[in-house]
Amino acid sequence: MMRDEDVDALLRSRRYEDAFGLILDRYQERVFRLAFSILKEAGRAEEVTQDIFLKLWQALPIYDGRAALSTWLYTIARNRCFSTFRKESMRMTAPLEGPAEPCREETVSQHAEIKQLLERLPKVQREVITLFYFQDESIQDVAQMLDLPENTVKSHLHRARLALAEMMRN
């Protein structure tokens, strides 16, 4: 299994293509899930994921190792996703087509309900819930990605769960 230390060693020896291949293998799916959780559209998430890895490829020679590789990558990904989301939100256009894949009616309904509930949470709680539950990140990883203390992440998770439970009761 690839470790960040393996990538660091490749980067120190200026073997950027090898390092990039390892990073792509390990993180591509996770970055896509992050993009999808923010953008809510698979096609757009794929495009943004490609953009993120292109930016990563360009930035590899300047990676200095001060932050963990995963933290650095998720920061790039998160910033790119939110930038895209803001840009697209400003256009306020509706898609011309429905979903690309047919979904069961109740799954679509549940997804829409969860999305509505999450949108009502404060941004930081929404991010913590998304990373922890939908991206399967650990408390420690979420804390690093959001540059928050671990106890603060736990507190946001607790408050978000309480808020979601209250919203579901009403």
Does domain 1-92 match CATH 3.40.50.2300?
no
Of the options 3.30.70.270, 1.10.10.10, 1.10.510.10, 3.40.50.2000, the CATH number for the domain spanning 103-170? 1.10.10.10
Q: How many whole angstroms separate alpha carbon 33 and alpha carbon 19? A: 22
CA distance 14 to 36: 32
* pLDDT at position 32: 92
Task: Report which residue type is found at 141.
Answer: D
Placement of tokens 């990563």 in the chain: 56
Residue ranges of the chain with per-residue pLDDT less than 50: 92-104, 106
Does 1-92 match 103-170 in CATH topology?
A: no
Residue 102's pLDDT is what? 44
36 burial type by CB count under 10 A (0-12 exposed, 13-18 middle, 19+ buried): buried
Residue 98: the pLDDT is 47
For the chain, the domains span 1-92, 103-170
In this predicted model, what pLDDT tens digit does every residue of 72-99 receive, in sequence order? 888 888 888 887 777 766 554 444 444 4
The per-residue pLDDT for 107 is: 55
pLDDT at res. 152: 93
Report the C-alpha dihedral over residues 121, 157, 70, 33, rounded to 10 degrees: -50
The pLDDT value recorded for residue 110 is 62
Cβ density class 85-97: b for 16+ within 10 Å, e for less: beeeeeeeeeeee
CA 74 distance to own-chain centroid: 7
The backbone torsions φ and ψ at residue 82, rounded to the nearest 5 degrees and listed phi first, read -65, -35
